[in-house]
Amino acid sequence: MNFKVWISGIVNIILFAVLLIMALAFVLSKASGGEPNVFGYQIKTVLSGSMEPTFKTGSIIAINPDIKLEALQENDVITFRIDEQNLVTHRIIEVIKQGEAIMFRTKGDNNDAPDSDLVLPQNVVGKYTDFTIPYAGYFINFAISKMGAVFLLIVPGLLLLGYAAVSIWQAIRYLERKPDESTTKSV
């Protein structure tokens, strides 16, 4: 097989795979209202350095939303709501039980002091699953933005169409030359 044909096939596969992955990431993120769910786990983006070195700013982490609050204990890392729009992921440093009530005192690994407010059970979104991809959160945040959607869906699509047009043009040129060679070989 010709080296150019081999490289052409590889480039074609890569462009198609990138387009497919971007479309899938975009659809998953839009369907879940922001960050995607994968196999029942929620994918969250780390926006601050409060938990470094456990995970870096810009990483994505997976949390399990299906947890039993009574099973949470010291050193577990949880994601919880601090208000309607903001989530925080910090480590439990103390489980406080008062009768039937349970609350959690949390602290970021990189913070000097514990969080000022206790975490109520109804604010716990999930437990960190020890799955992290460093710096991938920057990509997810870009992908769900309007500019990211344009860049990650339209640009690879245009590149794929352009590549297909060039391939078709080259095939037509090759076929137009082919008949000339066959007429000179007749006996």
Q: What is the CATH number of domain 35-144?
A: 2.10.109.10
For the chain, domain boundaries = 1-31+145-178, 35-144
Residues shown for the chain: 187
Strands 60-64 and 124-133, by their bridges, are: antiparallel
User: How remote is the C-alpha of 150 from its chain's centroid?
Assistant: 17
Residue 32 above 70 pLDDT?
no
Quick one: pLDDT band at residue 22, thresholds 50, 70, 90? low
Strands 60-64 and 37-38: unpaired
CA neighbours closer than 13 Å in the CB half-sphere of residue 4:
2
User: CA nearest 24: which of 11, 37, 12?
Assistant: 37
pLDDT, tens digit, 9 for 90 and up, residues 88-142 = 999 999 999 988 889 999 999 999 999 999 999 999 999 999 888 888 888 777 7
Active site residue: 29, 32, 48, 116, which one? 48
> How much of the chain exceeds pLDDT 70, in percent?
83
The kind and range of the H/E element at 144 are: helix 136-144
Task: Please say if 48 is a catalytic residue.
Answer: yes
